[in-house]
Chain A
Amino acid sequence: MSGDEGSSGWQLTESDPGVFTELLKTLGVDLIVDDLYSLDSDALASFQPIHALIFLFKWVANSDERGGGSGQFDTAFPGFFAHQVVNNACATLAVLNALMNIPSLTMGPELSDLKAFTTGMDPQSCGLTITSSDFLRQSHNALSPPSAISLDGLDIPKTSEDAYHFIVYTPVAGSLYELDGLKQYPVKHGSYSEAGEGWVAKAREAIEARIATYPPGAIEFNLMAIHDDALPKLQAELKASQDAGRDLQADQLLVRITEENDKRAKWALESSLRRHNYLGFIHALTLALAKAGKLQPATEKARTVMKERIAKAKKDGKSMEED
């Protein structure tokens, strides 16, 4: 999937919340993406208000590709929907299908222009517009390691790193919709009640129903929520609690704020590590080992490891590919 003609200059990205949140920041959107480990009320409550849910999955090797959602195609969908034209762009495409349907969302100028430009466009043209946007492609590619030591253009057979399928669940004009860039139209799941959990309750039903259609173990999946940044609110609440002397509540808020800050620090570290070109570092580290007289013994050991690996691969009947 990642090796076919569908790359067009879009690199394959990781699909973790830190990466997505960074993309949102580049697009000028002040929302956060987090992993959801469960769809139950408590899990969702901590992230409310949630603007969109992303269900991402990939087929486990040799799985039978059965299963999927139900619902009805809406050929008169009033919102934004783009087809996935380039496989490697799937993550950004899903994010756009979500963001562009969030009412009154503050966004950067490039995204605003894109939204205006694509108003009224059919899904295919929308998808083409997105994939030919230099700004979007660059923002997307900035999420993956630099290509100085990547293998694009060297004709290396890529390891089987399949792209995830992304499906966005989001409310539009009073109904819950399922936006899948690989399907022809958005899928309408019907109206929901604003009371209580609101639209996410309906989304829970739809997602659980979908999960149930896959044979057990056939897919690996993940759920993410696009939601407001909780920090400003938490910090305001903390101040209020402290001022009012509500110590217990203040302590609980402090814990949550600390967790949130730790998470951001982890994301910042990962982002910095991810975007770095390690060529110089690899050379310097190898040189340090050599100067310490440790390179040759390490290399000898490594040769033995390789011999054993090759012997084992031969025994197992595999051809010698990079793992």
Chain B
Amino acid sequence: MSEPILAFKAGKATRREGTNTVEPSATKGAIILQNEDGLLHFKWKNRESGEVEEDLILFPQDASFTKVSQVTGGRIYVLKFNSSNQRHFDASAARDEEFASQINVLLEDPDRVLVWGESNVASTSAQVIQPTEASSSSAVGTIPPGPASAEQIAHLSEILRNMTAQQTQNRPTVSLRDVLTRENVAPLFTTHPELIPALFPHLPPDLPIPPSPEALQRVVNSPQFQEAVRSFDQALHTGLLGGLVRSLGLPEDAGTGVEPFLRAVQNQAEREGSGSSSSSTNQPHERDQDHMETD
């Protein structure tokens, strides 16, 4: 893939030699994230000359992108490498420490996959962003503040998360097949029978046996279901199911891997509680009815 996966306007800032002062340069530029040959490139392009003046390869645990907190009146972020010189970037239109810290954490530990609350992801999408070069027609102009760049920073996080997911594709940490085993599922029927009816609507509509705990057991134990879990598990490992999991009402990052999916569902369970507000479970007062029906 040589299409940029993320690009946003940003200037460069350099530390004045021998001082602790970081000076932003007036040169208009852009940060471009690009996948080349499986490596993530972090480029800084001079928008006035059109030249790519910095081309750095990001490895997890080697790079971090942090805000320089001492700066007032603007936002300076530093792209730090453990190995070599630091690079400073002025992304003053960027929104938030939160995003930068998310990026940081990912760069430090690719195995830690972050779960975003729905509000964070609401404004993002997994679409490829065209480089801002395409949209800026004049060389004159200031870096616009506001939502556009915030979104792009969020995309940077998304991309890095996907990069993380892809990195772990070759070493998955957990398989859904090992979670949704008969042994794990069977106790549900005795310990939490009130949760079972919520599964009925998801049975095959033309199942020749009527919905019941027995029918559910048969489905869970069937090779067809096991194969579907295997298939979904494998698809999750690609990190590309963001669009698909949204159809389940889950945040997009739940489609980036098995761990994110599980965490998103865990979050959903905690939000919905044991029956207080959601559509997925029965109200506590219906418990007795359910017991009667399944007897």
Contacts and interface: CB of A to CB of B under 8 A. Distances in A.
Given A156-B238, A299-B262, A322-B234, A288 B198 contact: yes
B219 A281 contact: yes
Interface residues of B, number: 61
A193 interface: no
Contacts, number: 157
A282 B274 contact: no
Q: Tell me if A's interface is mostly helix, strand, loop or mixed.
A: helix
Contact of A295 (B191, B248, B266): B266
B208 to A, nearest CB: 5
Contacts of B272: 291
Contact of B184 (A145, A156, A277, A298): A298
A265 B188 contact: no
Contacts of A274: 224
Interface string B220-239: 10101101111110110110
Interface string B231-274: 11011011010001001101000000000011001101110101
Contact of B229 (A282, A299, A310): A282
A144 to B, nearest CB: 10
A301 interface: yes
Nearest to A277: B228
B131 to A, nearest CB: 25
B191 A301 contact: no
Q: Tell me if B's interface is mostly helix, strand, loop or mixed.
A: helix
B174 interface: yes
B203 interface: yes
Interface residues of A, number: 46
A248 interface: no
Interface stretch (A2-10, A117-125, A147-155, A223-231): A147-155
B114 to A, nearest CB: 16
A312 interface: no
Contacts of B175: 302, 305-306
B291 interface: no
Contacts of A286: 176, 179-180, 261-262, 265
B204 A276 contact: yes
Nearest to A150: B231
A292 interface: yes
Interface of A: 145, 148-151, 154, 156, 265, 268-270, 272-292, 294-296, 298-299, 301-303, 305-307, 310, 320, 322
B174 A288 contact: no
A306 B174 contact: yes
Interface stretch (B67-75, B96-104, B142-150, B165-173): B165-173
A273 B266 contact: no
B53 interface: no
A322 B169 CA distance: 10
A290 B268 CA distance: 9
Interface of B: 170-176, 178-181, 184-185, 187-188, 191-192, 195-196, 198-199, 201-204, 206-209, 218-220, 222, 224-225, 227-232, 234-235, 237-238, 240, 244, 247-248, 250, 261-262, 265-266, 268-270, 272, 274, 280-281
A149 B235 contact: yes
A104 B209 CA distance: 37
A273 B225 contact: yes
B198 to A, nearest CB: 6
Contact of A284 (B172, B178, B192, B198): B198
B265 A290 contact: yes
Given A284-B280, A290-B269, A291-B272, A272 B248 contact: no
A124 to B, nearest CB: 34
A288 B196 contact: yes
Contacts of A278: 202, 225, 228-229, 232
A298 B232 contact: no
Contacts of A298: 179, 181, 184
4 nearest interchain CB pairs?
Answer: A290-B269, A302-B178, A278-B228, A276-B204
A108 B280 CA distance: 44
Contacts of B202: 278, 280-281, 283-285
